[in-house]
Amino acid sequence: MKQSIALVTGGYSGESVISYKSAATIYQHLDKEQFDVYVIDINPEGWFYVRDGQRIATVDKNDFSVILDSKQVTFDAVFIGLHGTPGEDGKLQGYFDMLHIPYTSCNAATSALTFNKRYTVAVAALAGIPVAPSVHLFAHTPYNAAEILQQLKLPVFVKPNNGGSSIGMSKVKVAEELQPAIEKAFAEDEQVLVEQMISGREFSVGVFKTGGNIQVLPITEVEAKNDFFDFEAKYHGASTETTPAQMPATWQEQIEATAKNIYAVCNCSGVVRIDFIYDEAAGKPYMLEINTVPGQSEASIIPQQVRAKGWNLQDFYTALLQEALAKH
């Protein structure tokens, strides 16, 4: 008997365009011999079961089911391929928890925490993980740009505190640029993070759990052709990604150990992508952020890393689903 899997995509934010690309890859590589896969598109117009791009049925939110050919279809597990809200910030996770439906991502608390960049680095810092100095701003609280620069050294990055696709992000090199950069970020979010730049090479690492064991995928080095790894670099090819990254063995050991530690400290589940800057002068990796629903389009970092490990995506996605199903 095949298990029924809901592949959730779409979303309520600008990241939905990435969600659809991720879902296309996931759908293509899910094992149809083992699973009946139903694509569920969650968007501002409603929740729909879609097939070949057509809306076939509306989801009953009372129990997350659909009626097809006069029969009710329920789901054994959910594969979350939805970036941004409500799939990456804990809202859907809390909903599925109440319905006792297992899913492939982090739980509601971890998803909500890691979606907030500032709270994530605060928790990591408490665990002794190196993070960049930063200032957290709220739309409802007055701030003074000059005072921020008394606490942080230029250059700084200014970014919306929530979300993972680098929309609204700026690199500020001179004091006069700080105020406009903050306003740009506030246009995307009610919270803004101003973070001191750590100089060094940028690495991204996929971490997941299978059979109860935390595993690290081959590390990717990211070199932005733009001034930094912004939305253009991330999604429109304005970056060079090398997998596996070429680096000293000591760096690799440090990054892998730190990534496993972060995964454990934040109580992650499923596959997450953790971004680091390696500060050669300090001799250690600094954690930038955690993406709990990392991109899965063919060109995305996680699929690159899975292939570099010598695996195929079908086996990888099956392992993620089996880990989710084993919890119930």
SS (H, E, C) 185-197: HHCCCCEEEEEEC
Nearest residue to 207 via CA among 217, 196, 218, 192? 217
pLDDT, mean of residues 112-139: 95
Among candidate residues 277, 292, 307, the one where a domain is terminated: 292
Within-domain flag for 298:
no
Give the domain extent around 157: 134-195
% of the chain exceeding 70 in pLDDT: 95
217 and 127 fall within a common domain: yes
Q: What is the structure's pLDDT at 327?
A: 80
Within-domain flag for 255:
yes
97 and 191 fall within a common domain: no
Query: Mean pLDDT of all residues in the chain?
Result: 93
204 and 288 fall within a common domain: yes
Please state the domain count of the chain: 3
245 and 233 fall within a common domain: yes
257 and 122 fall within a common domain: yes
11 backbone φψ class: left, alpha, beta (φ>0; ψ -120 to 50): left
39 and 12 fall within a common domain: yes
pLDDT in tens, 21-71: 999 999 999 999 999 999 999 999 999 999 998 999 999 999 999 999 999
Q: Which amino acid is at 117?
A: K
Q: Kindly indicate the confidence band of residue 7, based on its pLDDT and cuts at 50, 70 and 90.
A: very high
Between CA 245 and CA 317, with CA 310 as vertex, the angle to 5 degrees is 105
Within-domain flag for 22:
yes
Within-domain flag for 328:
no
What DSSP string runs through 119-187?
A: HHHHHHHHTT--B--EEEEETTS---HHHHHHHSPSSEEEEESB-SS-TT-EEE-SGGGHHHHHHHHHT
116 and 221 fall within a common domain: yes
Count Cβ atoms below 10 Å from residue 190 Cβ, excluding itself.
Answer: 12
pLDDT in tens, 44-57: 999 999 999 899 99
Omega of the bond leading into 142 within 30 degrees of 0 (cis): no
pLDDT in tens, 249-273: 999 999 999 999 999 999 999 999 9
204 and 278 fall within a common domain: yes
